[in-house]
Amino acid sequence: MHRPPVLHVAALLLFTGFSLTEAVEIKVHDNNNKTCIYAILSVNFTVVYEGNGTMENTTFTLPNSLSSNGSVCGDNKSAPLLKMNFGPGHSLSLNFSHSAGIFRGDVLTFTYNTSDTNLFPGAKNTSVKQVAVDSLMEAAPLNTVYTCRSAKAIASKEVIMVFYDVGLQALVENGTISKNESICKADMSTTMSPLTTWTASTMTPTKPPPPPIPSVGNYTLKNGSETCLLANMGLQLNLTYVEDNQTRLINIDSNSTASGYCGDQDATLVLEDMKTTIIFHFIVEQSKFFLKEVKANISLVVNGSTIPLQFNNSSLKYWQTSIGSSYMCHKEQRLRVTDQMVINTFNVWIQPFELKSGTFSRAEECSLDDDSILIPIIVGAALAVLIVIVVIAYVIGRRKSYAGYQTL
Ligand SMILES: *[C@@H]1O[C@H](CO)[C@@H](O)[C@H](O)[C@H]1NC(C)=O
Ligand SMILES: *[C@@H]1O[C@H](CO)[C@@H](O)[C@H](O)[C@H]1NC(C)=O
Ligand SMILES: *[C@@H]1O[C@H](CO)[C@@H](O)[C@H](O)[C@H]1NC(C)=O
Ligand SMILES: *[C@@H]1O[C@H](CO)[C@@H](O)[C@H](O)[C@H]1NC(C)=O
Ligand SMILES: *[C@@H]1O[C@H](CO)[C@@H](O)[C@H](O)[C@H]1NC(C)=O
Ligand SMILES: *[C@@H]1O[C@H](CO)[C@@H](O)[C@H](O)[C@H]1NC(C)=O
Ligand SMILES: *[C@@H]1O[C@H](CO)[C@@H](O)[C@H](O)[C@H]1NC(C)=O
Ligand SMILES: *[C@@H]1O[C@H](CO)[C@@H](O)[C@H](O)[C@H]1NC(C)=O
Ligand SMILES: *[C@@H]1O[C@H](CO)[C@@H](O)[C@H](O)[C@H]1NC(C)=O
Ligand SMILES: *[C@@H]1O[C@H](CO)[C@@H](O)[C@H](O)[C@H]1NC(C)=O
Ligand SMILES: *[C@@H]1O[C@H](CO)[C@@H](O)[C@H](O)[C@H]1NC(C)=O
Ligand SMILES: *[C@@H]1O[C@H](CO)[C@@H](O)[C@H](O)[C@H]1NC(C)=O
């Protein structure tokens, strides 16, 4: 008989820097009671569901009490599968692919049961739902633990999952969890930056020069093979860190990876670079779309230590545009998200809904840009009126003088 893999939620954490209170640690065991998959992770879930007439949202974290029934150790025929079951019928699972000495996360599936009144109070249309997304983890060499302490957000229509303090090893050899870490890209930059940025500037109290205007990133989301969201923009964050009351300008890398979700009534764009994850949530209301919500997770380096910051505002109304059009604004705009975080945007051209053949539709320009067009128009119109007045005055004047000459 095949014995189901056994789960251990251990109190002792193998890796440093993980928050003890929140991280969940799991070991899946094989038939010989040897560890074959190791995982440690923290996940914050936000799920939007239908309540009594309104959309409700619920937030919860991955709980400590999990079972790993349904996990598969994997071998050269079957893919390893980590399945974490919790509560009445919820689960988070990740299967791994492996080849040529590396392993990587393949498909991450979150299954949730809206009948659970603890997590989904007052839910209508109770059912078991599922979201599946690609690539939680980057490729890592076999016999290493992939670690990613930085937060990574994965958004779909109804679910946002924020993963942090993640450690994963599939195909553990001889049941011994590796001591070698494969550090994710996001962590590398945060641990490197203190060396480069702080050695020089500690000498002089002068502020570092402001960064240049951010370069414009062209971000694209696809629904299958069809482009469903286009966003060209340069982004800069203006953060006020309350501890030292200093403001900092951070440019978003124009090479940030874009992911997210396109729907008829709402769309989500997730941009991630080394230090920052920003989620833009657009919704449609009365045949207009606008930016309703911004969430950001930022690793800020202060005096050599990395401080994770979170900002969130879900009652915004920026970039309002008729559905079927795109929104354009060349001028710099300052979008206030919270008192501590403002996004400065440059050369925005965005369309989250109703793209025709994968390209931007007619653009509605921002009022700032309108002004710049309007001013020459007003000046031109005023000049034209002036010229007409001068001509009339001249004609009248000539008539008078002509009449005067005749009487002579
Ligand atoms: C499996 O190993 C753990 C220790 O790693 C031990 O506590 C447990 O009793 C073992 N279970 C079986 C069924 O051998
Ligand atoms: C996750 O949620 C917990 C508690 O709700 C919060 O303290 C923590 O800051 C959150 N972390 C992230 C990365 O969102
Ligand atoms: C749903 O809302 C309506 C009115 O808002 C109220 O009359 C009704 O009792 C509510 N039903 C439940 C199950 O809460
Ligand atoms: C989520 O719920 C909170 C509190 O109930 C509310 O303030 C917020 O607007 C909701 N967000 C969304 C996207 O519905
Ligand atoms: C999970 O496995 C345990 C024993 O290994 C068993 O008691 C339990 O019923 C299983 N749960 C499910 C949902 O299969
Ligand atoms: C698959 O693994 C088994 C042992 O688990 C080994 O005997 C066999 O040679 C492997 N096959 C390939 C194609 O690597
Ligand atoms: C969903 O939750 C309800 C209520 O807790 C429970 O009765 C039901 O069995 C759950 N469904 C699944 C598939 O686990
Ligand atoms: C992972 O699971 C998905 C569906 O759940 C499947 O399409 C995919 O092929 C699996 N990956 C591997 C490596 O087996
Ligand atoms: C696993 O055991 C084999 C044989 O004992 C050994 O050659 C190999 O190096 C071990 N691998 C690890 C990762 O410890
Ligand atoms: C981004 O798109 C604009 C037009 O919308 C184009 O001029 C620019 O070259 C593009 N940039 C890149 C890096 O593709
Ligand atoms: C950044 O924010 C501070 C305080 O809100 C403000 O004084 C400053 O002008 C802003 N700078 C830029 C470049 O947006
Ligand atoms: C973006 O990536 C391209 C190619 O990978 C590289 O040439 C370019 O320098 C990168 N730009 C930034 C701002 O990192």
Q: Is 373 among the domain residues?
A: no
| Domain span holding position 184 | 1-195
Q: Is 173 in the pocket of ligand 6 (CB under 6 A)?
A: no
Question: How many angstroms does the Cα of residue 67 sit away from the middle of ligand 5?
Answer: 8
> Is 231 within 8 Å of 269 (Cβ atoms)?
yes
Structure tokens at 2: 């095949």
Q: Answer yes or no: do 149 and 267 share one domain.
A: no
Choosing from 166, 195, 224, the residue where a domain stops is 195
- CA–CA separation, 319 and 322 (whole Å): 10
Q: Which atom of ligand 2 is nearest to the CA of 22?
A: 3
Q: Is 181 among the domain residues?
A: yes
Give the Cα-Cα-Cα angle 111, 113, 117 (nearest 5 degrees): 145
| Predicted model pTM | 0.57
- CA–CA separation, 120 and 99 (whole Å): 40
Choosing from 195, 224, 242, the residue where a domain stops is 195
What's residue 370's pLDDT?
Answer: 54
Q: Which atom of ligand 9 is nearest to the CA of 176?
A: 14
Reduce the DSSP state of residue 62 to 3 states and report it. coil
* Neighbouring-strand partners of residue 217: 233
Q: Answer yes or no: do 232 and 153 share one domain.
A: no
Q: Which atom of ligand 4 is nearest to the CA of 55?
A: 14
Q: Is 117 in the pocket of ligand 4 (CB under 6 A)?
A: no
> Is 303 within 8 Å of 314 (Cβ atoms)?
no
Q: Is 314 among the domain residues?
A: yes
Q: Which atom of ligand 12 is nearest to the CA of 254?
A: 13
Q: Answer yes or no: do 247 and 139 share one domain.
A: no
Number of domains the chain contains: 2
Q: Answer yes or no: do 174 and 123 share one domain.
A: yes
Structure tokens at 304: 């050599």
Alpha carbon separation from 194 to 25, 38, 148, 149, 271 (Å, rounded)? 30, 31, 18, 17, 23
Q: Answer yes or no: do 29 and 177 share one domain.
A: yes
Q: Is 382 among the domain residues?
A: no
Reduce the DSSP state of residue 95 to 3 states and report it. strand
Q: Is 48 among the domain residues?
A: yes
Q: Answer yes or no: do 7 and 92 share one domain.
A: yes
pLDDT, one tens digit per residue, over 362-402 is 999 987 555 555 556 666 677 777 777 777 777 777 776 65
Torsion of CA 312, 317, 322, 324, to 10 degrees: 0
Choosing from 195, 222, 245, the residue where a domain stops is 195
In one letter, which amino acid is 172?
V
> Is 236 within 8 Å of 253 (Cβ atoms)?
no
Side-chain-side CA neighbours of 306 within 13 Å: the count stands at: 21
What's residue 40's pLDDT?
Answer: 94
Q: Is 131 among the domain residues?
A: yes
Question: How many angstroms does the Cα of residue 235 sit away from the middle of ligand 5?
Answer: 49
What's residue 196's pLDDT?
Answer: 30
Question: How many angstroms does the Cα of residue 123 sit away from the middle of ligand 3?
Answer: 12
Structure tokens at 269: 């764009």
Q: Answer yes or no: do 60 and 164 share one domain.
A: yes
Three-state SS letters, 229-261: EEEEEEEEEEEEECCCCEEEEEECCCCCEEEEE
- CA–CA separation, 184 and 241 (whole Å): 26
Q: Answer yes or no: do 12 and 95 share one domain.
A: yes
pLDDT, one tens digit per residue, over 238-292 is 999 888 888 899 999 999 989 888 989 999 999 998 888 999 999 999 999 999 9
Q: Is 348 among the domain residues?
A: yes
Structure tokens at 135: 């690539």
Q: Answer yes or no: do 114 and 57 share one domain.
A: yes
Nearest-CA residue for ligand 11 atom 3 is 247
Backbone region of residue 318 per phi and psi (left: phi > 0; alpha: psi in -120 to 50; beta: other values): beta
What's residue 183's pLDDT?
Answer: 87
Structure tokens at 261: 């979700």
What's residue 369's pLDDT?
Answer: 58
Q: Answer yes or no: do 232 and 177 share one domain.
A: no
**CATH number, domain containing residue 311:** 2.40.160.110
Give the Cα-Cα-Cα angle 299, 162, 114 (nearest 5 degrees): 160
Residue 113: burial class (beta carbons within 10 Å; 0-12, 13-18, 19+): middle
Phi, psi angles (nearest 5°) of residue 321 = -150, 145
Per-residue pLDDT of the chain (408 residues; tens, 9 = 90+): 344 444 333 334 455 555 555 689 999 999 999 999 999 999 999 999 999 888 899 999 999 989 999 999 998 788 999 999 999 999 999 999 887 678 889 899 999 999 999 999 999 989 999 998 876 788 888 999 999 988 888 888 889 999 999 999 999 999 999 988 888 878 876 544 333 332 223 333 345 567 789 999 999 998 888 999 999 999 999 999 888 888 899 999 999 989 888 989 999 999 998 888 999 999 999 999 999 999 999 988 877 777 888 899 999 999 999 999 999 999 999 999 999 999 999 999 999 999 999 999 999 998 755 555 555 666 667 777 777 777 777 777 777 665 555 544
Q: Answer yes or no: do 281 and 138 share one domain.
A: no
Q: Answer yes or no: do 187 and 220 share one domain.
A: no
